[in-house]
Amino acid sequence: MVVTKDLSRLGRNYVQSGLYIETYFPEHEVRFVAILDNIDTAYDTSNNDIAPFKSILNEMYAKDTSKKINSVLQSKRSLGQYLGTAPYGYKKDPQNKYHLIIDEEASNVVKLIYEKYLAGFGTMQIADYLSKNKIPIPSDYNKKKRGVKSINYGLWQQSTVRFILSNEIYTGTVIQGKRKKVSFKSKKFINLPEEDWIKVENMHEAIISKEDFERAKRIINATKGSRVVQNDYLFKGLLRCYDCKGYIGIRSADKNGNIYGRCQRYGRFGKFDVCSPHNFNYQVFEEQMLEVLRQICKKYTNRKKLQQIAKSTETEQSKEFNIKNQLQACKQSIESETKKLDLMYDDRLAGIISIDEYIKNANRIKELIKSYEENIKALEKELSGEKCKDDTDDKLDNLITEFLNMENPTKEIIREFIEKIEIHSDKQVDIYFNFKPLQEMDLNKFVCAKKKYENKIA
Ligand SMILES: [Zn+2]
């Protein structure tokens, strides 16, 4: 027996409630009673016969209410009144529930995410950074705000970072009506095209400027298609083991999402005491590596500027003149030293000096001549190399400018710069550049710190 207060409680959908009353209940010998509508299927009364009409009326009533509610909501949306729950970074204004105000703590995280992203970090690096620094993920943050005490902090997902990076709400714009219900009877939603969205600008205080948001959007769109191979790491193929000179392999993420590099030869032959693990956290390494590269590039451009200032005081011609003078001096010195050697030989023949004395002095003079010859070689190289050196300089300058401007450095540009990177067993990292001026910078050695993710998966 099924008892309801009235017919509408059984269901507002006349197709379904009709099916129950007319087919399902009789077939399963279920008695149905709707008290206020005087319906009782145990008795054959005329009241039972009008049940289908009542169902239709109930449905029309529901449809009408839904329409009224919808039009109210729609007008609120078109005024830019915010109807949903407050997005991460904002909270509802206690004075006006349709207005958003900034949530200080979370908005700082939003700012940090944009800042890092626009500085060239990838969504994965940002997610890992937040996890490592124990920033609660939005759902945990909401729980904390609601006063839930014991929270297992989760790890940040790339998708969450991406969602925050593509949510226009942070520019102060309210966007609603992105989707609508198929019908008031259904719980299904369909997505609406962007031109149908209800977008109202400057409804609340912005966390991110419109310019920064647009920049982030451009990068997201630009990198969308390029992330085909997930295991294509930025420094893959460039990493070598310092001790055995073999490749460093990058292993896929473990259950905590950490990616480790390890000497491949050790991985294969370690059981025969070949090499040692050279284990390091690749994500930490990549982050630090890019930072070091940026530092080197910045230092290089700064030094270059200084050199140019120095150069402007010393003209090209006088530089060439200087080199030629030095060349001349070296050649003269060789000539005079050779003459000394001849004279000493004569002295030896005449018995003026002993054999020991002769050998000792002759060797000294020969060394001297050799060093002059080396000087000449270097000076000549400098003289002839002046022009072609400018070409590689230009190429390097362009590369550096491109790299420093790049939001997400590509594998290609990294490869232009770096010949190889060697990892020591104590995690010292040596960088070998394709460009001599970069190779000469200090900073080319750094230690990849071992950092552990202390967060547990919720
Ligand atoms: Zn090795």
Residue 240 and residue 420 in contact, taking contact as beta carbons nearer than 8 Å: yes
Measure 229 CA to ligand 1 centroid, in angstroms.
26
Within 13 Å and on the Cβ side, how many CA atoms surround 44?
Answer: 1
Å from CA of 355 to ligand 1 middle: 54
Q: How far is the CA of 243 from the centre of ligand 1 (A)?
A: 5
Tell me the CA–centroid distance for residue 274 and ligand 1, in Å: 8
Instruction: Give residue 418 CA to ligand 1 midpoint distance, Å.
Output: 20
Distance from the CA of 67 to the center of ligand 1, in angstroms?
Answer: 71
Centre of ligand 1 to C-alpha 399, Å, is: 31
Mean pLDDT of 110-119: 90
Percent of the chain with pLDDT over 70: 91
Cα(275) to ligand 1 centroid in Å equals 5
For position 380, what pLDDT does the model report? 85
C-alpha–C-alpha distance, residues 144 and 454, integer Å = 19
Compute, in angstroms, the gap from residue 277 CA to the centroid of ligand 1: 7
C-alpha 241 – ligand 1 centre gap (Å): 5
- pLDDT tens string 323-379: 888 889 999 989 988 888 888 888 888 888 888 888 888 898 889 899 999 888 888
Helices (H), 14-157: 14-19, 25-27, 46-49, 51-78, 104-118, 123-132, 138-145
Average pLDDT for 416-422 = 86
- The pLDDT tens digits for 402-413 are 788 777 787 777
Q: Any idea which of 68-77, 211-220, 435-444 has the lowest mean pLDDT?
A: 435-444
Q: How big is the chain by its Cα radius of gyration, in Å?
A: 39
* CA 449 to ligand 1 center in whole angstroms: 19
Long-range CB contacts for residues 437-445, cutoff 8 Å, separation at least 24: 437/300, 437/393, 437/396, 438/296, 438/300, 438/396, 441/296, 441/299, 441/300, 443/292, 443/295, 443/296, 443/299, 444/296
Confidence of residue 316 (pLDDT cuts 50, 70, 90): low
Please compute the mean of the pLDDT values over residues 133-157 and round it to a whole number: 82
Separation of CA 276 and ligand 1 centre (Å): 6
- Give the model's pLDDT for residue 110: 96
Cα(261) to ligand 1 centroid in Å equals 11
Task: Give me ligand 1 centre to Cα 264, in Å.
Answer: 7
Is domain 90-224 in CATH 2.60.40.10, yes or no? no
Question: How far is the centre of ligand 1, averaged over its atoms, from the C-alpha of 239 (Å)?
Answer: 11
User: What are the domain boundaries of the chain?
Assistant: 2-70, 90-224
